[in-house]
């Protein structure tokens, strides 16, 4: 028996704003969508075009309050081949929320407060 990670889910208040953020910040594209027949929810799956893993954004029509993310200890991590350019882009976007220079990583925050870790591709060193 084997298992393969296929997606992670984030619930979002403003689906269009979140899609735009993930597109600009990480280059993710919409790969599929599913909407409830009654319009009560919509799922949008984003992919990076290179791996099978996807980010699922869930929008709930009746949700009006921000989600309680607790201590925000759960996060996604994305690897980049150009840490300097990525950091500059994210600084320009104003979404860098935590830096750890000693580990060579930093975190960005999406419109709903979810943190995403940015790590360098260390396979080439």
* C-beta separation of 77 from 68 below 8 A: no
**Segment 105-109 mean pLDDT:** 97
Active site residue 117: yes
Q: What is the pLDDT of residue 108?
A: 97
Q: Please name every residue paired with 77 in a beta bridge, in sequence order, or none if there are none.
A: 117
Give residue limits of the domains in the chain: 7-62+75-124
Q: Please name every residue paired with 11 in a beta bridge, in sequence order, or none if there are none.
A: 58
Name which of 41, 12, 48 is nearest 27 in CA terms.
48
CA dist 58 and 124 (Å) reads 35
Radius of gyration over every alpha carbon of the chain, rounded to an integer in angstroms: 15
Residues constituting the chain: 125
Mean pLDDT over each residue of the chain, to the nearest integer = 94
Q: What single-letter DSSP state applies at residue 68?
A: -
**14-56 tens-digit pLDDT:** 999 999 999 999 999 999 999 999 999 999 999 999 999 999 9
The CB density around residue 27, as the number of other CB atoms within 10 Å, is: 13
pTM of this structure = 0.92
CATH of 7-62+75-124, one of 3.30.70.20, 3.10.180.10, 3.40.462.10, 3.40.50.720: 3.10.180.10
């Amino acid at each position: 028996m084997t298992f393969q990670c296929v997606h992670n889910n984030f619930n979002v208040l403003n689906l269009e704003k979140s899609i735009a953020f993930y597109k600009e910040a990480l280059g993710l594209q919409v790969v599929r969508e599913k909407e409830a027949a009654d319009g009560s929810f919509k799922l949008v799956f984003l992919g990076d075009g290179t791996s099978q893993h996807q980010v699922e954004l869930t929008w709930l029509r009746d949700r009006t309050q921000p989600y309680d993310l607790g201590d925000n200890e759960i996060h996604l991590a994305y690897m980049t081949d150009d840490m300097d350019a990525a950091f500059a882009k994210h600084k320009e976007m104003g979404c860098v929320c935590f830096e750890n220079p000693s580990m060579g990583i930093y975190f960005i925050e999406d419109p709903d407060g979810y943190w995403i870790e940015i790590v360098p591709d260390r396979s080439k060193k």
